[in-house]
Structure 1
Amino acid sequence: MRTPSRRRPRALLAAAAAGTLLAPLLSGCWAGAGGAGSGGDAINVLMVNNPQMVELQKLTAAHFTKETGIKVNFTVLPENDVRDKISQDFANQAGQYDVATLSNYEIPIYARNGWLHEMDSYVAKDSAYDEQDILKPMRQSLTADDGKLYGQPFYGESSFLMYRKDVFAEKGLTMPAHPTWEQVAELAAEVDGAKRGMRGICLRGLPGWGEVMAPLTTVVNTFGGTWFDKDWKARLNSPEFEKATKFYVDLVRGHGESGAAQAGFAECLNNTTQGKVAMWYDATSAAGSLESADSPVKGKIGYAPAPVEKTKSSGWLYTWAWGIQDASRNPDKAWKFVSWASSKRYEQLVGEKVGWSDVPAGKRASTYTNADYVKEAAAFQEMTRDAIEGARPTAPGVQPRPAPGIQFVGIPEFTDLGTKVSQEISAAIAGRQSVESALKKSQQLAEQISEEYEGR
């Protein structure tokens, strides 16, 4: 039985959510950016360690800095670590970092809290940037309640299914044009062990609201489940949520990658590139790495829409975007970096210097009319754009939702809730507890959020 609690005002809820992430900052000393400071002709950029970001870091000094004289000090961290560090600096408005990679989950929340510098004033004066070329779902996802833009996408993504065409051909298997999850499970069993050391499928199991919970929540949506119903009742113990979670856990335990409980995006990318798995359900942005010139599996991968059950589509909508901290000492120079890093010109630079399949795509309409990109990314570019434009962040499931989001719930508390639930799910993947036990604990966690939001 739940203990009643008084509902707190929304501002206090946001502060409480931020406070859970500020704990490391408040409990001891915190050092940022390796001691390098922004100001003058330098800016500090904090970003996730995804392949496209690493390429950006390599290209910046010889191109952006050479052209503008602005030095960029990068701090590059894994996804879970970078989220914690960004929340610490931005929530405290410490100003250590001028620019950070934020997603379409954080940007509306951060903007509402006054932590971000609006970008409309810069866009209005920067005609070369061409804001209208940014795909509409991306623009909308980075616009806050006040109607202003607070982020610019570096790349956009949805999710789809990747599979080894050669392995399927050798086994006499055909990937359906629009696969269901039940079909995927059957195919995973068929291709498990098709080559020595090869497992049927890679699915994230690493704890983190942006790791295991991202793909799993899309499965929950299409199986008919939801985190909260329209009245904010927690529904993690519903038959649909349980069926989806049990399906996911059973699939990855039965035919998934070794060490699945510690495998996130990076580990699944490595497993797929190294031929250790025959299928992988994850971000469309992974295709660029799989099809790059030096990829051992280039040309061997097929692509199919995100698997479904009860919905017509199930792909997520996500962007790693640039946000400028409101406390930045150098917002004008920060915008110059953001404008360059998200520009058509930067995409052209990556295409020429690195390879067109490595372009940080999924954000601009012009990318998909660029003949060089279309030719090299032919295997996946059309399906990627279709997935992004077909994503339904306000209606991803079979029932009305109280907050936007496909692979997340768009409220400040989800950072903490999603992470805690992910730890329970990961423990089930590791075999340390049952799915029923994991969801019982998770439901109790979600009910605490229900108590704060019910009746609004």
Structure 2
Amino acid sequence: MKRIASSALCTALFCVSSASLAATNLVIATVNNGHMIEMQKMGKFFEQANPDIKLKWVTLEEGVLRQRMTTDIATKGGQFDVMTIGMYETPIWAKKDWLMPLKPDATYDIDDLLPSIRDGLSLNGKLYAAPFYGESSMIMYRSDLVKKAGMSIEDRPSWAHIRAVAAKIHDPAKGVYGICLRGKPGWGDNMALITTMANSFGGQLFDMKWQPQFTSKPWKDAVTTYVDLLKNFGPPGSSSNSFNEILALYNEGKCGIWIDATIAASFVTDPKQSKVADKVAFAQSPIATTERGANWLWAWSLAIPKSSKQPEAAQKFINWATSKDYIKLVAREAGWASVPTGTRKSTYASPEFMKAAKFAAAEGTAIATSRPNQSTLPPSPYVGVQYAAIPEFQTIGVAAGQQMSAALLGKVTVDQALAVTQQAAEREMRKGGYYK
């Protein structure tokens, strides 16, 4: 409804304030993780400052959210005014002219955004999504268990060393599993981790001729290592576990080592959520033959689809939710250890944050060392660490994730899983016109 110019609309019988008549419903599609749930709680402050805007939330599990948003934006459905998307979708959707370029206001300080994150959310120098929180991946481990076993975990340990530590601390009789890793199939689930493993073994998704590389030795070595770790030292049901499931296990004290998103650190060190909050330590991700691409880079970000019915209100909300002031608001309401991280230089320059968040230095290093433009040892034609920023990758990644899950369950061998993945990838790339 259009805003009424006067402060009230009056008739002979009554007056109604323009604010109540002009209420704009802003529909926000987002993922069901901790920082987004916190954003919903903080939404009341935005509504108080903007009484003419009412926030309507659609909160979904990652895979369902991605499917709903992709369908809506491709068909110009207009269901959502703000979408929570990542570094994979942003440049692809911007190139298709599905997103509106963002226009942060003068107080936003766009130069405060971390360069690697900002670059990944831009196309031709224009920002198309604003980062709500950014992440890389790193090792989180139980320092008490590792020390008791007479072991240690330094930055960039070998995967062989990780296996040795996991074997030492694995004690299922006491409800402790040596290592927890994502097993749920999906390009943003098990494949996010497995692809970084393959990178570290010297592998890549595609060579310079866009030929898929899933049957290469680095991929076989990486997937063999992955399956071995979870079969021998992982919790039961690993093939169903993604971020939230493992977070619950870790916070109950059931995981000795967890290699996953740096954003998890703020939850596993929170004594309100974690029974082992004071026993967590951090290290940079494991490697095999190279550090390149060993830790991923991602940012859950807010964007405005071209089909948004309320683009001005959407821009106002995004400015607020991804600002320095929002970070200070969360710090005030929930504490500095709970703020969304991985987006702004000023967060890591804050003494209060660095003091409250014992994971801050490790997280900052992981994000800073992730290079989406140089993520593999051999040269690659794509941008991305745990994904390739091409439209075909989503289908390929889903198919690959299902095969890796089947290998973990013992339904197929590693060689069979990789061969089927290779065939599926070649089919998609031919269909996409990359080669005949």
Q: Structure 2 length as normaliser, TM-score?
A: 0.92
Q: What does residue 67 of structure 1 align with?
A: 49
Q: What letter corresponds to residue 320 of structure 1 in structure 2?
A: W
Distance 2:143 2:34 in 1: 24
Change (3 A) 1:127 1:195: farther
Q: Report if aligned partners of 2:155, 2:285 keep a CA contact under 8 Å in 1.
A: no
Change (3 A) 1:176 1:194: farther
1:20 corresponds in structure 2 to none
Residue pair 2:392, 2:429 contacting (<8 A) in 1 also? no
SS of corresponding position for 2:127? coil
Question: Which residue is 2:298 aligned to?
Answer: 318
Measure the CA separation in 1 of the matches of 2:405 and 2:128.
Answer: 33
Alignment partner, residue 58 of structure 1: 41
| Equivalent residue, structure 1, for 2:76 | 93
Residue 44 of structure 1 is aligned with which of 6, 12, 27?
27
Is 2:102 aligned against 1:103?
no
DSSP 3-state at the match of 2:138:
strand
Shift of the alpha carbon at 1:194? 7.5
Q: Which amino acid aligns with 2:323?
A: S
Q: Is the 8 A contact 1:118 1:150 kept in 2?
A: yes
Partners of 1:325 and 1:224 in 2: CA distance: 37
Shift of 1:97: 0.2
Higher strand share: 2
Specify the alignment match of 2:187 in structure 1.
209
User: Which deviates more, 167-176 or 67-76?
Assistant: 167-176
Structure-to-structure mapping, 1:116-265, within 5 angstroms: 116-119=99-102, 122-123=103-104, 126-144=105-123, 146-193=124-171, 196-265=174-243
Query: Match for residue 12 of structure 1?
Result: none
Cα contact 2:180–2:235 (8 A) shared by 1: yes
Contact 2:215/2:418 (8 A) holds in 1: yes
Of residues 39-48 and 243-252 in structure 1, the stretch that sits farther from structure 2 once superposed is: 39-48
Give 1:293 deviation, angstroms: 3.7
Q: Offset at 1:195?
A: 7.1
Contact 1:292 1:355 in 2 (8 A): no
Taking the aligned partners of 2:327 and 2:335, their CA distance within structure 1 comes to 10
* Alpha-carbon distance between aligned partners in 2 of 1:420 and 1:220, rounded to the nearest angstrom: 17
Larger Rg: 2
CA distance in 2, matches of 1:449, 1:399: 22
Q: Counterpart of 1:198 in structure 2: which amino acid?
A: V
8 Å Cα contact 1:160/1:284 also seen in 2: yes
Aligned counterparts of 2:92 and 2:251: Cα–Cα separation in 1:
36
1:448 to 414, 427, 435: 427
Q: In structure 2, give the amino acid aligned to 1:75.
A: V
Give the distance between the partners of 1:194 and 1:310, measured in 2 at CA. Answer: 31
Secondary structure in 2 matching 1:74? strand
Q: Does 1:354 align with 2:334?
A: yes
Gaps of 5+ in 1: 1-38
Paired position in structure 1 for 2:402: 423
Question: Are 2:83 and 1:83 aligned?
Answer: no
Aligned partners of 2:180 and 2:234 also within 8 Å: yes
Matched, 1:339 2:322: no
Deviation at 1:114, TM superposition (A): 1.2
Displacement after TM superposition at 1:312 (Å):
2.6
How far apart, in 2, do the equivalents of 1:281 and 1:411 lie? Answer: 26
Residue pair 2:331, 2:337 contacting (<8 A) in 1 also: yes
Q: Give me the whole-angstrom Cα distance separating, in 2, the residues matched to 1:96 and 1:250.
A: 44
Residue number in structure 2 paired with 1:19: none
Contact 2:23/2:54, CA 8 A, preserved across alignment: no
Distance 2:168 2:74 in 1: 49
Matched-pair contact (CA < 8 Å) for 2:86–2:300: yes
Residue 9 of structure 1: aligned partner: none
Cα deviation, 1:46-87, whole Å, max 9, x if unaligned, reads: 0000100001111202x0001111111001011111100110
- Aligned with residue 356 of structure 2, among 358, 370, 376: 376
CA contact under 8 A between 1:310 and 1:398: conserved in structure 2? Answer: no
Measured against aligned partners, the alpha-carbon deviations of 1:194-250 in whole angstroms (never above 9, x if no partner) come to 871110001101011100000000000010111211111111111111111111111
Report the identity percentage: 37
Point out the more displaced range, 278-287 or 311-320.
311-320
- 1:200 counterpart SS class: strand
1:352 maps to a residue whose letter is: R
The reply on whether 1:403 has 2:386 as its aligned counterpart is: no
1:387 corresponds to: 366
Q: SS at 1:385's partner residue?
A: helix
**Residue identity opposite 1:73 in structure 2:** K
Give unmatched runs, 5+ long, in structure 2: 1-21
Query: Which stretch shifts more, 298-307 or 170-179?
Result: 170-179
Aligned match of 2:18: none
**Shift, 1:93, TM fit:** 1.2
Contact 1:115 1:325 survives alignment (8 Å): yes
Kept in 2, the 8 Å contact 1:203–1:282? The answer is: yes
| Match of residue 328, structure 1, among 303, 308, 318 | 308
Asked if structure 2 preserves the Cα contact closer than 8 Å seen for 1:293 and 1:355, the reply is no
Given that residues 203 and 257 in structure 1 are in contact (C-alpha distance below 8 angstroms), is that contact kept between their aligned partners in structure 2? no
Distance 1:317 1:434 in 2: 30
Q: Contact 2:177 / 2:234 at 8 angstroms: preserved in 1?
A: yes
The amino acid across from 1:67 in the alignment is A
Give the letter for the 1:364 counterpart.
R
Matches within 5 A, 1:426-437: 426-437=405-416
- Which residue identity is paired with 2:275? P
Give the deviation of 1:428 after TM superposition: 1.1
Q: Could you say what secondary structure the match of 1:311 adopts?
A: coil
Structure 1: distance between partners of 2:306 and 2:265: 34
Q: What secondary structure does 2:126 align onto? A: coil
- Counterpart CA distance in 2 for 1:128 and 1:231 is 45
- Deviation at 1:455? 5.5
Amino acid at match of 2:311: P
- Displacement of 1:355: 2.0
What TM-score, normalized to structure 1? 0.88
Paired amino acid for 2:326: Y
Deviation for aligned residue 1:453 = 4.5
* Aligned amino acid, residue 404 of structure 1: V
Residue 283 of structure 2 aligns to a residue whose secondary structure is strand
Shift of 1:176: 2.2
